[in-house]
Amino acid sequence: DQWITVAGNNDAGIGSFTKRGRTAFLLGETFWLAVAATADQKSLPVGTKVEAFLRDADNARKPLQILDDVIPAEVGNRHTFLVTLDGKTTVSFAPGKYLVECRLGGRPGPPLAIDLIDPEPKTHFKNLLLGKYNNLGFDYSGLLGSANAVSDRNRWHYGLHKFSSASARDVVRSMVDNGYNAFKGMCYGMGRVTFSNSEVIRTLVIERAALGPWEAFTPPSGRDIFLDEAVRHGLEFYENLFTQHDSMMPRGEKFLQACERYSTLEATSMMHSPAFRGVCLFDELTQSLDHDTAGVVMAHFRKSEEALFRQRSGFSSSDAMKELDTFTALPEGKREYAMVEKYLQWPRHLSWQWEEFSRRMAGAAKEVMPSSRNFTLHHVNALPGMCLGNGDGGMTGKFRNLELVSAVGYKDMGGFGSMALTGPMMADAMRLRDDLIVMPMIYGLGTGLWGDSNVRDAFLTLSQKPDGLSFFQFESSPKTPKANDNFSGVKDIAGVITTRYGNLFLAAEKGYKKVAIYNSEVADMLSNRKPIGVTLLCEGLWASCLRAG
């Protein structure tokens, strides 16, 4: 590549920049603007006046207060001034576009365009797009390593189109236009902060002081650009921490400490943006299924799990498993229920591991960002009642230390295999606390002309007063719509129903609370030895209550 800079013969320059290259800010937000003066080999002329202004869309100019507005003595060939705009000041502005203008001794620098955004959302009902396997999720993942321009790229696909080209603004606008007001990222890589061409541009600009500070020219990371567009378009963002292609949940203290450090670093790298609201702890972590992890690591996880169980219980997992076999083999009159209690310590330990992982990773994020609102995804599948199952950790423990709850799973398949009760049951059973934000999943794969199944599932879910809906949509793409995707069907739900009437749904009250179904996690742990699956029985009872009104 050949890079060319164009600058006059000036021996000094001035320019402005913001934290992490942001160009969108919320009314009422406190933020700073930096104004930097630069010179060639000589020092900046002492006493030269520095000015900064904010120009609005009507061409009205507001002076910005700089505490020491002249170049001080002995500063060398660069000096940076900070202008802080507090919340009381920014809330008094009208939303819209503004130019930050600065001058060094009457000599103007290049203006910086920023947007001030009204933070009031269209609805407080959450329409959360799960980035997993979604075309827009793939677009987001591609943005991370390529700044703002995404070239054609190959992508792992499930019968989806393989190529895409989009910018961060295009991707975010597509999400918002479809009705989503929140997005959970999905990236299989762990290194998600890339500064494309930053070093090259920085070197060039430093060599030409007349251009001003290098920070005014170098692009921020791809994720920072995405976050900036999320602020501009009112999109909440939750980054997914651990998404390693159906991998075993990490075990062992050293691994958990490494995971905590990673959680802290991820939260720290995004907390500068008001669009970043928290993290989704994991998506594809499982109890034992694993596709890619090295065998030596999986063996370490298993040994660590067994060692910790022996430390907590005083006996081995095989000893616990034998107790249940012995109990069921005995005649009823000779069974000792202490055997069952001993066995239960093993599945309880497995469930506790998930709760502990959830507690520690959410705690790591909150340590640096106390305001973060974190969640994870409960694994469900197409079997009736599975939204209630322990699966990879019981809901009660796994979500104990979290603020939001949703799910990920596979169902519907174009309306032919719709599990209509999964959504409303999640809205009911996942409400473990009154302050928990519950967002049941609406699923679409090959939905196409049968989008009415999604609409039906959405209305049945809304009957149980959720706080939002999450959308696990495979094919939907505004750029390359196809006959077998469900782009229009999803837009009817998220873009019309729950956006236009979302606040009404949140204010409504459920009309019937006359019957309770007692669902025991202990019974679920023993379900494989029972004549009927406990979760299946719960769904049958729940459906009967719903039909009876």
Backbone phi and psi for residue 402, each to the nearest 5 degrees, phi listed first: -115, 165
Percent of the chain with pLDDT over 70: 88
Look up residue 422 and give its amino acid.
Answer: T
Residue in the block written with tokens 């905590």 = 260
What does the mean pLDDT of the chain come to? 87
Does the pLDDT at position 231 exceed 50? yes
Q: In the chain, what are the domain boundaries?
A: 12-117, 126-548
| 18-69 tens-digit pLDDT | 999 999 999 999 999 999 999 987 788 889 999 999 999 999 998 888 767 7
Tokens representing residue 386 in the block: 């599975």
Q: Which CATH class is domain 126-548?
A: alpha beta
| 133-168 tens-digit pLDDT | 888 888 888 888 765 544 333 444 444 434 446 789
What would the mean pLDDT of 197-208 be, rounded to a whole number?
A: 85
In this structure, of 113-117, 127-131, 259-263, 477-481, the range with the lowest mean pLDDT score is: 477-481
pLDDT on residue 156? 41
Does the pLDDT at position 172 exceed 70? yes
Q: Which residues contact 353 (CB under 8 A, 6 or more apart)?
A: 249, 251, 305, 308, 393
Long-range (24+ apart) CB contacts under 8 A made by 191-196 are: 192/144, 192/223, 192/239, 192/266, 193/144, 193/221, 193/223, 193/269, 194/144, 194/145, 194/146, 194/147, 194/221, 194/222, 195/147, 195/219, 195/220, 195/221, 196/145, 196/146, 196/147, 196/222
pLDDT on residue 161? 37
pLDDT on residue 89? 94
pLDDT on residue 165? 63
Residue in the block written with tokens 């000779």 = 334
| 481-515 tens-digit pLDDT | 666 666 777 888 999 999 999 999 999 987 767 77
Q: How many residues does the chain have?
A: 549
Q: Which residues contact 459 (CB under 8 A, 6 or more apart)?
A: none
12-117: CATH architecture: Sandwich (2.60)
Best-predicted range by mean pLDDT among 115-124, 288-297, 469-478?
Answer: 115-124
Q: Are 411 and 381 in contact (CB under 8 A)?
A: yes
What would the mean pLDDT of 2-22 be, rounded to a whole number?
A: 83
| Interatomic CA distance for residues 47 and 282, integer angstroms | 55
| 361-386 tens-digit pLDDT | 999 999 999 999 999 998 877 666 77
Total-model pTM: 0.92
Q: Which of residues 404 and 429 earns the better pLDDT score?
A: 404
Q: Which residues contact 516 (CB under 8 A, 6 or more apart)?
A: none
pLDDT on residue 450? 66
| 319-341 tens-digit pLDDT | 999 999 999 999 999 999 999 99
Residue whose C-alpha is closest to residue 367's, from 503, 447, 268? 268
Percent of the chain with pLDDT over 90: 52
pLDDT on residue 159? 41
